[in-house]
Structure formats: structure tokens, C-alpha cells
Amino acid sequence: MLGSDGRLEPGASPLDRPTSPRRRILKWLIGGSAAAFAAALALPALAIRSLQFATKDAAPGDVLVYSPSDADAPVGQPLKAADLAVGVGTQAFPDQKSDNANNLIEVVRVAEGDAGLVAYSAICTHLGCAVYAALNQDGLIACPCHASLFAPAEGAAVIGGPAPRPLPSIPVSVDAEGNIVVAGPFSGPIGPV
Ligand code: FES
């Protein structure tokens, strides 16, 4: 307890001493610094999370549009089944989803008819380079980085190079307008695992 002169009475606990203005300011500053530190940690994490939500994966029903990775292609235009002759490959993104690099898809016609269209992730399973859009002279999908080769008519099986597994496939179909559309998810993880 405090006496009338503001001093502690004999036997009173030091906890009875009122907090001085200087101590109150110090406590306020320490509390403010802790809050600022916590905010500095949290804001980058929130920014990363919002970026993750900004990109979207390929999904059934997405129309494929030509990718800039094919130099000869009309970028952004729908990829039509009739555009691909047997033995020709190109690359496409699901429309409005090109900001997700994992959505890059290699589409190849291996036979006539809608069933002759096959599609795979265009991200190499070795170290994640994008494969060439055009097939090589042997009709294979080739990676420019370390020369892995994949056979489009055989489920993108590895024919050569260091890639440890085939390119994941993705089912496609043809809609009423002749556009090639995504019909299901990738068969496995994209790129190196
Ligand atoms: S990244 Fe494709 S072969 Fe190495």
C-alpha cells in the first residue's frame, strides 16, 4: 500500500508501486515493436499465398489455345483438331491459364480421327525444361536441355536421355466447334519429382 506521501508503507509489496510514465512508454514501445515484427513476417507469406491462388490448373472443359512456345502458331487462338496432321505436334495452354507454366501441354496427332490426338505435359521430367513444340525428324518429342526423347505414340515413353519417366499424359477431346479441350487431369506430377 502507498502512504499519503506516495511512498510504500512498511511491509507493502513492491508490486503495489504504481507504474511510472517512463515504464508505460517503454512497455508500449516493446509491444509495438513485437507487433511490427510479426506483421513483417506475416505479409510475405500472405503475398505468396495470394500468388498461389492467382494461378489455376488445367481442368476438364478448358479449351486449348496456341502457346507462344510454338513460333509458327497463332498465339491465343483455339487449337482445332483439324489443324494437326498426323505426325505433327504443337503446344497449347488451357485458355486464360497461361500464367501457370505447369499448364503447358504438348499436343500431337499420332493417327487420324479424334482418337488419334494425344496430349502430354510439355515440362520435361528430368529437370523441368519445356520440350520443343515441334517433333524431331524421327517423330519424337525432344527436350532442348539434355536431349531426352519421348515417343508420343507410346505414352511419351522415354526413348533416350536422362529423363527418369514419361511425360504425364492429359486426356483431351474435341468439342462441337472442333476445338481441342481438356477432358481430365494429368496422369501424374508435372516435371521433376
Ligand atoms: S531437362 Fe529435359 S533432358 Fe534435362
Query: Which ligand 1 atom is the nearest neighbour of the CA of 127?
Result: 1
Residues 91 and 128 in one domain: yes
Query: Which ligand 1 atom is the nearest neighbour of the CA of 124?
Result: 2
6 located within any domain? no
Residues 39 and 109 in one domain: no
Nearest CA to ligand 1 atom 3: 146
Note down the domain range covering 21. Answer: 14-54
CATH number at residue 90: 2.102.10.10
Mutate to test the pocket of ligand 1, among 123, 129, 165 (most ligand atoms within 8 A of CB): 129
189 located within any domain? no
The identity of residue 1, as a single letter, is: M
Q: Could you list the pLDDT tens digit for every one of the 193 residues in the chain?
A: 445 555 555 555 544 555 555 656 556 555 555 555 454 545 555 555 555 556 799 999 999 999 999 888 999 999 999 999 999 999 999 999 999 999 999 999 999 999 999 999 999 999 999 999 999 999 999 999 999 999 999 999 999 999 999 999 999 999 999 999 999 999 999 999 9
- Residue 166 near residue 158, CB atoms below 8 Å: yes
- Single pTM value for the model: 0.74
- Ligand 1 environment, Cβ below 6 A: 124, 126-127, 129, 143, 145-146, 148, 161-163
Phi-psi region of 178 (alpha: psi -120 to 50; beta: other; left: phi over 0): left
- What are the residues whose beta carbons fall under 8 Å from the beta carbon of 51, sequence distance 6 or more? none
- Measure 162 CA to ligand 1 centroid, in angstroms: 7
Residues 150 and 125 in one domain: yes
Residue 60 half-sphere exposure, CB side, CA atoms within 13 Å?
4
- Measure 130 CA to ligand 1 centroid, in angstroms: 8
Residue showing cell 525432344: 142
**Dist CA 89 CA 81 (whole Å):** 11
Q: What's residue 133's pLDDT? A: 97
**Dihedral over Cα of 108, 111, 117, 123: its sign:** negative
Q: What's residue 37's pLDDT? A: 45
Residues 28 and 86 in one domain: no
Residues 74 and 157 in one domain: yes
- Measure 161 CA to ligand 1 centroid, in angstroms: 8
- Measure 115 CA to ligand 1 centroid, in angstroms: 29
- Measure 156 CA to ligand 1 centroid, in angstroms: 14
Residues 35 and 83 in one domain: no
Q: What's residue 70's pLDDT? A: 87
- Measure 146 CA to ligand 1 centroid, in angstroms: 5
Write phi, then psi, for 140 (nearest 5 degrees).
-105, 155
Residues 24 and 43 in one domain: yes
152 located within any domain? yes
Structural domain count of the chain: 2
Residues 42 and 117 in one domain: no
Neighbours of 96 (CB within 10 A): 11
DSSP string, 33-61: HHHHHHHHHHHHHHHHHHHHHHS----TT
- Residue 169 near residue 118, CB atoms below 8 Å: yes
